[in-house]
């Protein structure tokens, strides 16, 4: 086992890219965040990171991206960035034979679960932790999930799947009309989905999710409060549908800026109410599932580090 290895690791979202170095002895270090709007491609972001002075030789890399990964090719869901592993390896100037791995960003969060510290997690509800399966649910610029089974993760593109019937009916009842434009999970359960839902509820456009949350926290009787609390209840209803589908006995782990904002607010009470609305066997299953929020926005970088170090034949992440 080679412990003298340094790899480059990263997490590419729709809005920001986080890059760092990792090694068995140094852990994850030299973390930098880049605003994607300032770059025309992921390759350009890598070039900016690589241009730092005094960087050590990089012996491998793993980049997690917010979008589907097919073999060595990637395509971001919410940004027109696409390419392949060989192009990224060239920009990083990796030595011949070095591994350049691409994984989905939710899969990276799944890989990070074993190394997350208590300070990187917030418990919404305790549970008995049964079996070996967990589910990461990401809500930020987009929406997606990743199933973790033991040491393995499975990719998905659930953001583009249709809303469950129970959630769609609830949305229809809340709006009092056909909820046009809210066909898929991501149409509703994402940053832009929350903003659009507020306009559908109140008839008032708003600059973004941060303003909406600020108005909610300032006035619990505002239109913003009605939007956020109703949306949180529907998120709970969606989450209860994930339980029989994925059987996450080890827990549901919510990640992303929208998850942190809403589930870290008083609206978590409405979320828990929505999560417990199912009856019969569904209610029994949901009652046993631990619920967590991943509070560290850079947790996916740790997951990428675990993948890269294993591929490089190095020791475990410290």
Give the CATH number, domain containing residue 74. Answer: 3.30.420.40
What is the pLDDT confidence band of residue 142, given thresholds at 50, 70 and 90? confident
**Is 95 found in the same domain as 210?**
no
Q: How many CB atoms lie under 10 A from the CB of residue 210?
A: 12
User: For residues 272 and 205, what is the distance between their CA atoms, to the nearest angstrom?
Assistant: 28
At residue 109, the 3 state secondary structure works out as helix
pLDDT in tens, 65-94: 988 898 899 999 889 999 999 999 999 999
Phi, psi (deg, nearest 5) at residue 246: -115, -10
pTM score, whole prediction: 0.89
Helix axis angle, 85-92 relative to 42-50, nearest 10°?
20
Q: How many CB atoms lie under 10 A from the CB of residue 272?
A: 17
- Does 224 map to a domain? yes
**Is 38 found in the same domain as 144?**
no
**Is 98 found in the same domain as 155?**
no
What is the pLDDT confidence band of residue 103, given thresholds at 50, 70 and 90? very high
**Is 40 found in the same domain as 173?**
no
Name the domain count of the chain: 2
Pairing of strands 60-65, 7-12: parallel
> What does the chain come to in residues?
318
- Does 218 map to a domain? yes
Q: Element (H or E) spanning 16, and its range? A: strand 16-23
**Is 304 found in the same domain as 276?**
no
Give the CATH number, domain containing residue 230. Answer: 3.40.367.20
**Model confidence at 48: pLDDT above 90:** yes
Q: For the range 147-156, what are the long-range contacts, defined as Cβ-Cβ under 8 Å and sequence gap of 24 or more?
A: 147/110, 147/246, 147/248, 148/110, 148/111, 148/113, 148/250, 153/103, 153/107, 153/110, 153/111, 154/107, 155/68, 155/69, 155/103, 155/104, 155/106, 155/107, 156/104, 156/106
Indicate the DSSP class of residue 199: H
- Which residues form the domain of 24? 7-111+298-311
**Is 155 found in the same domain as 128?**
yes
- Does 318 map to a domain? no
**Is 131 found in the same domain as 247?**
yes
Tell me if 140 sits within 8 A of 258, measured CB to CB: yes
Q: Mean per-residue pLDDT for 132-156?
A: 90
- Does 1 map to a domain? no
Q: Mean per-residue pLDDT for 33-42?
A: 96
**Is 191 found in the same domain as 54?**
no
**Is 100 found in the same domain as 126?**
no
């Amino acid at each position: 086992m080679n412990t003298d290895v340094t790899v480059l690791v990263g997490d590419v979202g729709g809005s920001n890219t986080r890059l760092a170095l990792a090694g068995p002895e140094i852990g994850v270090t030299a973390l930098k965040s880049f605003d994607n709007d300032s770059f025309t491609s992921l390759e350009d972001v890598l070039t900016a990171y690589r241009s730092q002075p005094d960087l050590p030789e990089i012996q491998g890399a793993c980049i997690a991206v917010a979008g589907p990964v097919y073999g060595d090719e990637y395509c971001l869901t919410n940004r027109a960035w696409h390419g392949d592993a060989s192009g990224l390896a060239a920009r990083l100037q990796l030595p011949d034979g070095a591994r350049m791995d691409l994984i989905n960003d939710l899969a990276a969060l799944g890989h990070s679960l074993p190394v997350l510290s208590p300070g990187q997690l917030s418990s919404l509800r305790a549970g008995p932790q049964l079996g070996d399966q967990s589910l990461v649910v990401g809500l930020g610029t987009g929406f997606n999930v990743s199933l973790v089974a033991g040491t393995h993760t499975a990719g998905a593109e659930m953001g583009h799947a249709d809303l469950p019937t129970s959630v769609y009916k609830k949305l229809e009842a809340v709006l009092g009309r056909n909820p046009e434009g809210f066909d898929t999970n991501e149409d509703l359960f994402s940053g832009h989905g929350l903003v659009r839902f507020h306009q559908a509820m109140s008839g008032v456009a708003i600059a973004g999710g941060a303003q909406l949350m600020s108005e909610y926290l300032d006035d619990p009787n505002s239109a913003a409060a009605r939007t956020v609390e109703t949306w949180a209840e529907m998120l709970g209803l969606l989450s209860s549908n994930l339980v029989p589908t994925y059987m996450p006995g080890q827990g549901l782990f919510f990640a992303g800026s929208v998850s942190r904002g809403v589930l870290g607010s008083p609206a978590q009470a409405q979320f828990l109410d929505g999560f417990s609305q199912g009856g019969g066997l569904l209610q029994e299953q949901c009652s046993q599932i631990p619920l967590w929020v991943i509070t560290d926005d850079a947790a996916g970088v740790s997951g990428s580090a675990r993948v890269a170090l294993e591929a490089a034949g190095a020791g475990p992440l410290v």
